[in-house]
Structure formats: C-alpha cells, structure tokens
Amino acid sequence: MKKIVLTLSLIIAALAIAALIFVWRVAFTDNVKPEEAVRINIPTGSSGDDLRAILSEKDILRSERRLAITSGLKSSGRTVRPGSYVIEPGMNSNELLNMLTSGRQSPVSVTFNNIRTLEELAGKVGGQIEADSASLAAFLADESNYSADGFSRETVISLFIPDTYELWWSIDAMGFYRRMLKEYKTFWNRERMAKAESAGLTPAEVSVLASIVDEEASRADEKPRIAGVYLNRLRLGIPLQADPTVKYAVNDFTLRRILNRHLEVDSPYNTYKFKGLPPGPIRCPSRSGLEAVLNAEKHDYLYFVAKPDGSGYHHFSRTLAEHNSYAAAYRRELNRRKIYR
C-alpha cells in the first residue's frame, strides 16, 4: 500500500512539475517577434477576438496559441481595454495580457499648429487620437458643448494653443476639449491675466489680437512691435486695418494683395470697415503671438508695411505720409513681380 501511495505521489508530483514547466513556457517566455518596440491601438469596444486580430495583423506574436492558453488560464480573454500600447521586445504572454487588459496604455504625442479653422483643427487632431475628425468637428460645431465655459463658436478656437501634448489615444471629443481647457487655464495664470488687464484686454481679446499678429508677422522677432502698433490703434480708436482680417472675411488666405473690392466686404472681420477687434480669432493664436501681445513693445508707431526686399520684415511709421511712401514702394515691387491678387 505504501508503495502504491508513493508511486501515486511521485506521478502527481511529476505531473505538477510538468504542468508548471508547461505554464512557464507558455506564459513566461518571450512571445514577441519584433526586435524593436511596436505601438498598437485598441479601439473602444474591441473584443478578445479583435485584440488577437490586431496582434496578428502587426505580426507581433511568436505563438498566438501561447497567448490564447495564457488568456484562458488568466480568464482575461474578454477584458480588453481600449488605448494605445507600446509592446516591448522580450515581453511574454503574461506581461502582454497584463498590460493590454489593465489599460496600462502609453500616451501619444499630439501636435497641431498653423490652424486657421475649427475644421482644420478637427482634421489635424482626428488623425492622431481615436476620436475621428467628424466627431471632433461635430462637437466643436455645437456651441452648447462649451458655452458654459465662456466660449462661443467664434472664440472657442482660442482655447486650442498650438503645441505638442501628451494625450491618451482613446480620448473622445469631450475629453480632448477638457484637456485643452485645462491647458488654456494653465496658460492664463495670474501673471498673464494681470498683463492682459494692464493692456485693457480680456484673455479672449488677447487671443483675437494675437491671431492677427501671427498672420502679419513672418519674423517672430517683429511680433511684439506689430502688437504694439495694433494696441496703439485700439487705444486711439483708429481702425486696425489689418489685411489678414480681410483675407479671413473673404475666406481666401492665398491673397497676396488686398484690393479695394476686398476692403468693401461687409463682415465684422473686416477691420478696414469696422473699428475695434473682430468677433473672434482668425486662427489658433500661437504662444509666441499671445506673449507678443502681453509683452508688446512700447512705441508710438501707428503703421507698418512689408519691406519690398522680400526679407519678411516691415517698415514702421509714425505718420501717414511716411507710411504712404513705404506703401508705394511696396506696391511698385508687387507690380514689378506681377502680383496683382
């Protein structure tokens, strides 16, 4: 009897050891093919089958069977979490499943700049996160989504300060808006709020003016001086007469020359026709544009016009006569280059 018990014990022990070796080989040995890190995106609502299909499409696994067995052992086959995940070389099936089913995703870098419209913003961001351009555009088109935060359809573009942000890939349109609102509030700290108040502007008005400065200046070091010109004109009640606002009003930023017929367009964005600031920014104001307005150069210039040498810099003037002389030289250069629109 003792021999039988001993034999059975040895068999059970051998089976247990064999099972442990099997589990170890299945769950705890390298099961990732690529020798470099690979990022995969798991859409919201994905099932275990969807996960396996994504891994197969990317050719991630050495053995799909090992992952399936490990998943069964862990009873985690249906707990797929959406997100963007970085799969590292040498990961085993257990590590892989722990990461993918716990939602331990890696953030993605989302960059946007040179944005003139909300539609452009939606298109740019929609390719970088799970929320597509259509859902982002629909969210931004509905003013009720952000009116409680003090934004209108005309001003909400000021919320999105161009930069690179670390976001979760699975973020939806509301989540993206909320994250950008947090960044906006961080930017508008006490110091910047005080500078805006000192200039007689609200944050929204700073954003509007900054967007105009961004469009006017092709040289960053001129932004504070250009901002100073516009602040002088606002203070004296002189129309801004900013060409970029006319381009916005006629919806044509390809214009290289503003003609009299453009100046007659009946739009609140036409700062030749209407005094003060337009209803909203004419683009996403950049950080440098915002800082240029908040730290505008103190001077008594009221006019500026591009230099005809193509340098991207401007002539600044205190008097209309001086400005007209510079403007005539610039027009002659446009004529010489046969630029008529």
pLDDT value of position 63: 80
In the predicted structure, residue 26 carries a pLDDT above the cut 70:
no
Domain shared by 215 and 198, yes or no? yes
CB 81 within 8 A of CB 93: no
Angle CA 247–253–256, to nearest 5 = 85
User: What is the CATH number for 47?
Assistant: 3.30.1490.480
9, part of any domain: no
Out of 156, 187, 218, a domain closes at: 187
Domain shared by 153 and 286, yes or no? no
Tell how many helices (H) and how many strands (E) occur in the chain. 14, 6
In the predicted structure, residue 24 carries a pLDDT above the cut 70:
no
**DSSP 8-state secondary structure symbol assigned to residue 148:** G
Number of domains in the chain: 3
305, part of any domain: yes
pLDDT in tens, 32-83: 888 889 999 999 988 888 888 998 899 998 888 877 776 776 665 457 789 9
Domain shared by 139 and 268, yes or no? no
Strands 38-42 and 83-87: antiparallel
pLDDT band at 158 (very low <50, low <70, confident <90, very high): very high
289-314 average pLDDT score: 96
Domain span at residue 272 reads 190-336
CB 81 within 8 A of CB 100: yes
Helical (H) or strand (E) element with 173:
helix 173-187
Rounded to the nearest integer, the mean pLDDT of the chain is 89
pLDDT band at 223 (very low <50, low <70, confident <90, very high): very high
Instruction: Evaluate if pTM is beyond 0.75.
Output: yes
